[in-house]
Amino acid sequence: MSQETGKVKTMAIIASILFVSGIFGGILIAKGPLNPPKTAQSSAAYQLDLVITTNNWYNNSVGYQPAYFVVQGGKLMSSATISIPGNVPVFVTITDYDNGSAGVASPQYANVTGTSGNTVLIVNNTNVNSTASSANQGINVNGGYLASQVPASLIAHTFTVFSDGKVVLNIPVLPSSVEFATFTLPPGHYEWHCEGLCGSGPYGLEGAMTAVGWMAGTVIVN
């Protein structure tokens, strides 16, 4: 076989592979699920996962400070900018690893506002417990409590969202708790801030409380 014939044969084989894979590829694409229409996508609920941890090194004079993080793609990311879709129910889960309470600057932040029913489901090791029983596969579960308000002195942090300085969302967060709520916001740029006195300094308003990506940031609603 001459080199030229070999090249031609190789080309013919490559061409037929491309042709066959083209046909089957076409069939696979045609048989694949259709992309959902935009309207269906935009009406779907959105899951926002926030995590509060405490062992974050702030600086040598302040030491460790608490900080909010956003779970994205299985990783903890900065909370400096939180992006969520607009006019869509957002299911927010706040997991608070902070076991201490800080209190709040103003009693209004003890109220749950801007969530569905103005309530939050609070789950922690005190209010979720179980009792052995002969029914229910051997366990009776008491699962958290739905709160529209919490004692101000127990608050560890809040997730509070402002629009032009006005509170549009306030979720008080208790120590060592996981909280669940749903809210919907129209598109726009908002500010978020923790209103717990969780920072450093004599009033707990310094350190993390002044720092973007720690206890403050922007919420971009698209």
Burial of 16 per CB tally in 10 Å (0-12, 13-18, 19+): exposed
Told to check if 217 binds Cu ion by CB under 5 A, we report no
In order, the DSSP letters of 60-104 are TTTEEEEEEEEEETTEEEESSEEEE-TTS-EEEEEEE-------B
Q: How far apart (Å, rounded) are the C-alpha atoms in residues 102 and 117?
A: 26
Out of 92, 174, 215, 219, name the contact with Cu ion by CB under 5 A: 215
Segment contacting Cu ion (CB under 5 A): 2-10, 24-32, 117-125, 154-162? 154-162
Smallest separation (angstroms) from Cu ion to the CB of 179: 13
Binding to Cu ion, residues 43-62 (CB under 5 A)? none
Indicate which single residue of 157, 160, 207, 213 sits in contact with Cu ion (rule: CB under 5 A). Answer: 157
Nearer to Cu ion, 56 or 86 (CB): 56
Which of 50, 198, 216, 221 binds Cu ion (CB under 5 A)? It is 198
Nearest to Cu ion of 86, 95 (CB atom): 95
CA distance 173 to 52: 10
For residue 147 the two structure tokens come to: 């709160």
Element housing 59 (H / E): strand 46-59
196 belongs to the binding site for Cu ion (CB under 5 A): yes
Give the nearest distance from C-beta 198 to Cu ion in angstroms: 3
| Residue numbers at the binding site for Cu ion (CB under 5 A) | 157, 194, 196, 198, 215
